[in-house]
Amino acid sequence: MAEVTLSRRKMLAAGIAALSAPALPEVALAQPAIGRSMPREFNLAIENVTLNITGAPRPAVAINRSVPAPVLHFREGEEVIINVANRLRESTSIHWHGLILPSGQDGVPGISDGFQGIAAGETHQYRFPLVQAGTYWYHSHSGVQEQAGMYGPLVIDPIRPDPYGYDRDYIITLSDWTDENPHRIIRNLKRDPGYYNYNKRTAASLANELARAPNGQAREAIIRDRMMWGDMRMDPTDIEDVTGYTFLVNGRTPEQNFTALYRPGETVRLRFINAGAMSHFDIRIPGLEMTVVQAHGNNVQPVAIDEFRIAPAETFDVLVRPTNGRQFQILAESMGRQGFASASLATRDGMPMLPLPPHRERPLLTMADMGGNYGPKGLDRGTPRPEVDRPGHIAPMEDMGGMDHSGMGHGSGQGGMQGMDHSTMPGMNHGRMPGMNHGAPARGAGARPSTTGTPAMDHSNMPGMDHSNMPGMGRSSSLASDPGFRLAAATLPIASVPGAGLFRLAQASQGSMQGMDHSNMPGMDHSSMPGMGQQGGQPPRQQRQPARPTQQSTPRRDQRGAAPSAADHSAMGHGAPGTGQVGQVDTSAASAHAGHGGMAPPDPFAVNTGAPPGTRVLTYRMLRALSNPYPVREPNRVIEIRLTGNMERYFWAINGNRFSEAQPIVLNLGERVRMRFINETMMSHPMHLHGVWMQPQVGNGAQNPLLHTVSVRPGSTLDVDVEADAEGGWAFHCHMLFHMETGMMRKVEIRRQPRVASHG
Amino acid sequence: MRRTTHAAALTAALLASMVGGASAQQAASQNTVHDPGAHGPASHEVYFGAVLFEKLEWGVGLNGVPNIARWDGQAWYGTDYDKVWIKTQGEVERGRRAENAEVQLLYSRLIGYFWDFQAGVRYDPRPRPDRTYGVIGIQGLAPGLFEVDLQGFVSERGDLSARLELSYDIYVTQRLVLQPNLEVNVAAQRVPELGVNSGFNDIEAGFRLRYEFTREVAPYIGVNYTRRFGEAAKYAREEGGKAEGVEFVSGIRLYF
């Protein structure tokens, strides 16, 4: 058995050697290239090692005996050869995360063209040109090796210098380490999904909440909220599946205090890579402003922020300018507030870590995170054969009253728009949702389920709610049977109008939906929902507001605004008159369903790090690509990517099918598709598509960012355009590794032959 | 006496095989970070198993209710959708042989988000004469977070009966859990030789307060109330017991 024991000192030494320098000489790792035309060659060896992070030696998998693996430092335009020697007793693989390369070099066994993994004892040669620059990473795509230590940073220097200067360059690889065997973790989660959750709501916490409640109404709301979650059989405290992690920066614990050196006045580039298996991090450097210059390896218009959240597999590069010579703390707090990864910016090495601050309040899931997204939407699923959900994937929502779309006559096969007549919807009662009482002073309008046949929320009485008056609604009926889609799809045919930009026209059609102005509806005030708008600790907004112009396409100063906007009717895309904000196109898609379900969906771009008011928190909306290789054009089709799963049995899926039972999603080479991510679960899913860029439709038009991983927050709907310009088989999966491992994965096949009538 | 030993041995063997199976797999996977079945990523069905002894307890009866040892356990192995399920429960009176004992071997299929459909056989070595039943049932989580196990039985003689088990976990703190539970047995007809009443046979209700040192090991204390009806009550009295009684229980919940 090729097992090597590494002392902690040795490990650290390796780590330091790999990371010490802005300009790292590829010592021992690379063989010198003779001339520029020769590909440079790198050698990696994968071994079982024993790693001691917590005080107990544990088995790990390391590349070149280092965790994280050594930095691979490439240059844009060159070709590299990487020899990977497998010294494990099992098959392995390396995937180059975010790199644009031929499918056969992508390194996913069984999915990448002709690649079946690297068998035990074998050496595999990867060879590919580097057609991009930026911060990326690499990791195993076999079994559970990645979370056992097989991940490392990958940096590609650009041919033309970056449009921003900096004096120092550090990689900050974040990761989560547990002493527990990954297989054991999966087993524990499958037999008890709450196995690792020691932050459940308890009788004690209930008593506490009740004691602090200001009045009887609040107490009632608290109790009803509890019952509501009980009825749904869901757990609002289920933020992170797995606990017990030690969070690392470049393989080092907070106590070991990785230190990035600076001289006062210098600009320091920090390349953040989240190589964690299951952890989102909220990152801040108290006392320093960060300027984001690169997202997922692609340069973006510099944007100044105070905090950002990084989902697993994401990378963000920021510039900081520490001036006064003091020690700054780079804090990466896990989303579930289990712990910190931390490092220092200091003028000299060897300083002890600064004391960690107290944890921010642990987030709770809200009704908004349920989103009302449930069930098939009737869109193209991108698979060769019709695909149906397997039972057990869709949470029954009958207890949610109006949130059950299947009971609302929206089911597929509905012909005309009369399905949209709200007066025919039974079960629109929101009365069982605490705080969902639409009459602001509680419980007036939101009544109990009506047995008399009069729906409590009789929308038929609302003037102007007849959706059949919407222009363009009839034209797209062949695209999908789902009215919610029609609302969005109504904008599609417009693309064929010569010279007309989609966004402008979409706006026009939205602006003409005057009758949809919810602000005129008495008792439709959703602002009293607990958790629907007050996550930032902001007092509930009591006044009924007229629908306001949305500001979604412009970065907000107040990023908590993201949360309130979930409850804001303007986010429903109905009431807002044309505002000139292209962002509406996206929200109309996102909110179409929920608008009918009676509850606004969460803003797909909202990031609530629990920061104090006034803090600037990065969202995808703030990302504007500096260059976009793709023309702005309409997608050929919209593919439904519902993120599903069974939280009770702990398995995850896409469109109701786990990987083991799913068909590949087939794209035609050269087409542009819009993947409509609909997160039906209560967890965030960072969805990673290999081989091609994803362009989330954040409302920045041609400047929409290019990402390799898109974080889809609970209950939200998010449109992502994909230019299918890379032939072959590509993996497509959630980068929460236990979600991927238990089924949230697909093969995406980009094929050359065009299909009939796919161009519309 | 011999039959009892047999039954106990059978139960023990079945459970041991489940436990053994599970732990063997676990051992294999814990030696190294190793995934023998994985050629492609996530392309394989994950097989997993678990053993849960909800009750392993000793009950001290009040007012002449005999002291009783009780077990109630289940184990399963399989995939997300298809599993083999074993359930067993029974009671032993101090110094006597097992009063009740049963073992079920079931196939279990996930039919909804929260529900498994189960079918198989049940064998009762006690009370005598021993009986074999066909079983059909559903098990899962009902709205409100109630654990539900509803089973219908048909005996080799064609007798019909049913059982409903309900329990609910109240987390007092993160580790202290109060679990009320209820079990109701009904039958469609009298079965005099087994002391089975037509209609309600017995109701058992209890509270158990456990402390989860780990999710795996949780000792508990509790109160149990039992009431038997009609023939069942008569049978109990003939056996020197009582139709109704309260007992204090202490035991351990094991979940591996």
pLDDT per position as a tens digit, B100-140: 899 999 999 999 999 999 999 999 998 889 999 999 999 99
How far apart are the C-alpha atoms of A171 and A718, rounded to whole Å? 30
Share of chain A above pLDDT 70, in %: 67
pLDDT of residue A755: 53
Q: Convert the pLDDT of each residue in A362-393 to its tens digit.
A: 999 887 777 666 788 888 999 999 898 888 88
Indicate the SS3 state at residue B18.
helix
pLDDT of residue A254: 96
A647: which residues sit within 8 A by CB, 6+ positions away? Answer: A193, A234, A238, A395, A681, A682, A683
Say yes or no: ipTM exceeds 0.95: no
Q: How many CB atoms lie within 10 A of CB A544?
A: 15
Beta bridge partners of A153: A137
Q: A299 near A612, Cβ under 8 Å?
A: no
- Closest of A681, A669, A695 to residue A586, by C-alpha: A695
Indicate the SS3 state at residue A692.
coil
Q: Do B35 and A204 touch (CB under 8 A)?
A: no
- Is B43 in CB contact (< 8 Å) with chain A? yes
- Closest of A170, A173, A221, A178 to residue A196, by C-alpha: A178
- Closest of A73, A86, A59 to residue A17, by C-alpha: A73
What does the block give as tokens for A347? Answer: 């003028």
Q: With contacts defined as CB-CB under 8 Å, which chain B residues touch A116?
A: 39
Point out the least confidently predicted range of A89-93, A551-555, A607-611: A551-555
| pLDDT of A443 strictly over 50 | no
Q: Which residues of B153-165 are buried (b: 16+ CB within 10 A; e: fewer)?
A: bebeeebebbbeb
Q: Do B112 and A148 touch (CB under 8 A)?
A: no
Q: A154 near A271, Cβ under 8 Å?
A: no
A135: which residues sit within 8 A by CB, 6+ positions away? Answer: A153, A154, A155, A171, A271, A273, A294, A297, A315, A317
Point out the least confidently predicted range of A198-212, A477-491, B184-198: A477-491
Across A504-524, average pLDDT? 34
| pLDDT of A44 strictly over 60 | yes
CA of A57, closest CA in chain B: separation in Å? 13
How far apart are the C-alpha atoms of A96 and A139, rounded to whole Å? 7
pLDDT of residue B125: 94
How far apart are the C-alpha atoms of A176 and A153, rounded to whole Å? 15
For A350, phi and psi rounded to 5 degrees?
80, 10
CA of B109, closest CA in chain A: separation in Å? 10
Using omega within 30 degrees of 0 as the cis cutoff, is the peptide bond preceding B219 cis? no
Q: Which residue has the tokens 């979650």?
A: A229
- Closest of B135, B129, B127, B69 to residue B101, by C-alpha: B127
- Is A233 in CB contact (< 8 Å) with chain B? yes
How far apart are the C-alpha atoms of A697 and A365, rounded to whole Å? 25
What does the block give as tokens for A134? Answer: 């930026």
Q: With contacts defined as CB-CB under 8 Å, which chain A residues touch B29?
A: 181, 183-184
What sign results for the dihedral spanned by CA atoms A392, A398, A403, A407?
Answer: positive
Share of chain A above pLDDT 90, in %: 60
A96: which residues sit within 8 A by CB, 6+ positions away? Answer: A105, A106, A107, A126, A128, A136, A138, A154
Q: B54 near B251, Cβ under 8 Å?
A: no
Confidence of residue A520 (pLDDT cuts 50, 70, 90): very low
A610: which residues sit within 8 A by CB, 6+ positions away? Answer: A282, A360, A361, A363, A535, A536
Point out the least confidently predicted range of A336-345, A397-406, A586-595, A749-758: A586-595
pLDDT of residue B12: 44
Q: B208 near A234, Cβ under 8 Å?
A: no
- Is A109 in CB contact (< 8 Å) with chain B? yes
pLDDT of residue A454: 33
**How many Cα neighbours within 13 Å face the side chain of A263?**
3
Nearest residue on chain B to A732, judged by CA atoms? B41
**Best A90, A197, A398 residue to mutate vs chain B (most B CBs within 10 Å):** A90
How far apart are the C-alpha atoms of B133 and B212, rounded to whole Å? 35
- Is B28 in CB contact (< 8 Å) with chain A? no
DSSP H or E segment with residue A740: helix A737-741
Between the alpha carbon of residue A362 and those of residues A199, A236, A335, A337, the distances in Å are 9, 11, 8, 6
- Backbone angle region of B224, left / alpha / beta, with phi > 0 → left and psi within -120 to 50 → alpha: beta
Q: A689 near A711, Cβ under 8 Å?
A: no
Q: How many CB atoms lie within 10 A of CB A744?
A: 27
| pLDDT of A606 strictly over 70 | yes
Cα three-residue angle B70-B72-B74, rounded to 5 degrees:
155
- Is A119 in CB contact (< 8 Å) with chain B? no
Tens of pLDDT, residue by residue, chain B (256 residues): 344 444 444 444 444 444 333 333 333 333 233 333 344 444 567 789 999 999 999 999 888 888 899 999 999 999 999 999 999 999 998 777 778 899 999 999 999 999 999 999 999 998 889 999 999 999 999 999 999 999 999 999 999 999 999 999 999 999 999 999 999 999 999 998 898 999 999 999 999 999 999 999 999 999 999 999 988 888 888 877 788 999 999 999 999 9
Q: With contacts defined as CB-CB under 8 Å, which chain B residues touch A745?
A: 41-42
pTM: 0.78
Across A155-159, average pLDDT? 96
pLDDT of residue A366: 84
CA of B231, closest CA in chain A: separation in Å? 38
| DSSP structural state of residue A757 | T
Across A514-532, average pLDDT? 36
- Is B27 in CB contact (< 8 Å) with chain A? no
- Is A117 in CB contact (< 8 Å) with chain B? yes
pLDDT of residue B207: 97
Indicate the SS3 state at residue A18.
helix
Q: A704 near A698, Cβ under 8 Å?
A: yes
What does the block give as tokens for B102? Answer: 């049963």
Point out the least confidently predicted range of A358-362, A585-589, A678-682, B185-189: A585-589
Indicate the SS3 state at residue B108.
strand
Q: With contacts defined as CB-CB under 8 Å, which chain A residues touch B110?
A: 391-392, 649
**Residues of B numbered 183-212 whose beta carbons fall under 8 angstroms of chain A's beta carbons: which are they?**
none
- Is B95 in CB contact (< 8 Å) with chain A? no
A82: which residues sit within 8 A by CB, 6+ positions away? Answer: A41, A42, A43, A44, A72, A94, A125, A126, A127
pLDDT of residue A687: 98
In one-letter notation, the amino acid at residue B86 is: I
- Is B26 in CB contact (< 8 Å) with chain A? yes
Q: With contacts defined as CB-CB under 8 Å, which chain B residues touch A731?
A: 41
Point out the least confidently predicted range of A133-137, A255-259, A354-358, A472-476: A472-476
**Best A181, A393, A654, A663 residue to mutate vs chain B (most B CBs within 10 Å):** A181
- Is A264 in CB contact (< 8 Å) with chain B? no
pLDDT of residue A31: 57
- Mean pLDDT (chain A) is 76
Q: Do A188 and B42 touch (CB under 8 A)?
A: no
Across A562-579, average pLDDT? 33
pLDDT of residue A599: 59
**Residues of B numbered 1-20 whose beta carbons fall under 8 angstroms of chain A's beta carbons: which are they?**
none
Q: Do A660 and B44 touch (CB under 8 A)?
A: yes
**How many Cα neighbours within 13 Å face the side chain of A236?**
21
How far apart are the C-alpha atoms of A315 and A299, rounded to whole Å? 12
Across A3-27, average pLDDT? 40
In one-letter notation, the amino acid at residue B225 is: Y
- Closest of A334, A299, A284 to residue A135, by C-alpha: A299
What does the block give as tokens for A69? Answer: 């693996």
Q: Convert the pLDDT of each residue in A305-321 to its tens digit.
A: 999 999 999 999 999 99
CA of A681, closest CA in chain B: separation in Å? 12
Across A15-30, average pLDDT? 41
**Best A191, A226, A652, A734 residue to mutate vs chain B (most B CBs within 10 Å):** A191
Rounded to a whole number, what is the largest CA-CA distance in chain B?
64
Nearest residue on chain A to B175, judged by CA atoms? A198
Q: Convert the pLDDT of each residue in A631-650 to its tens digit.
A: 999 999 999 999 999 999 99
In one-letter notation, the amino acid at residue A465 is: M
CB-based burial label for B75 (10 Å; 0-12, 13-18, 19+):
buried
Q: Convert the pLDDT of each residue in A70-123 to its tens digit.
A: 999 999 999 999 999 999 999 999 999 999 999 999 999 999 999 999 999 999
Query: Helices marked H in A539-600 — which ranges?
Result: 562-567, 583-597
Using omega within 30 degrees of 0 as the cis cutoff, is the peptide bond preceding A540 cis? no
- Is A142 in CB contact (< 8 Å) with chain B? yes
CB-nearest partner of A144 from B33, B80, B174: B33
Q: Convert the pLDDT of each residue in A236-259 to its tens digit.
A: 999 999 999 999 999 999 999 999
- Is A401 in CB contact (< 8 Å) with chain B? no
**Best B43, B113, B210, B256 residue to mutate vs chain A (most A CBs within 10 Å):** B113
Q: With contacts defined as CB-CB under 8 Å, which chain A residues touch B112?
A: 391-392, 396
How far apart are the C-alpha atoms of B87 and B73, rounded to whole Å? 6
For A755, phi and psi rounded to 5 degrees?
-95, 155
CB-nearest partner of B39 from A110, A182, A191: A110
Q: What is the dihedral of CA A715, A717, A723, A728, to 10 degrees?
A: 30
- Is B63 in CB contact (< 8 Å) with chain A? no
Q: Convert the pLDDT of each residue in A173-183 to its tens digit.
A: 999 999 999 99
CA A648 to chain CA centroid, Å, is: 22
Q: How many residues does chain A have?
A: 760
* Strands A328-334 and A30-31, bridge-based pairing: unpaired
For B127-175, strand residue ranges (E) read: 131-142, 146-155, 160-168, 170-171
- Closest of A286, A182, A291, A201 to residue A239, by C-alpha: A201
pLDDT of residue B33: 32
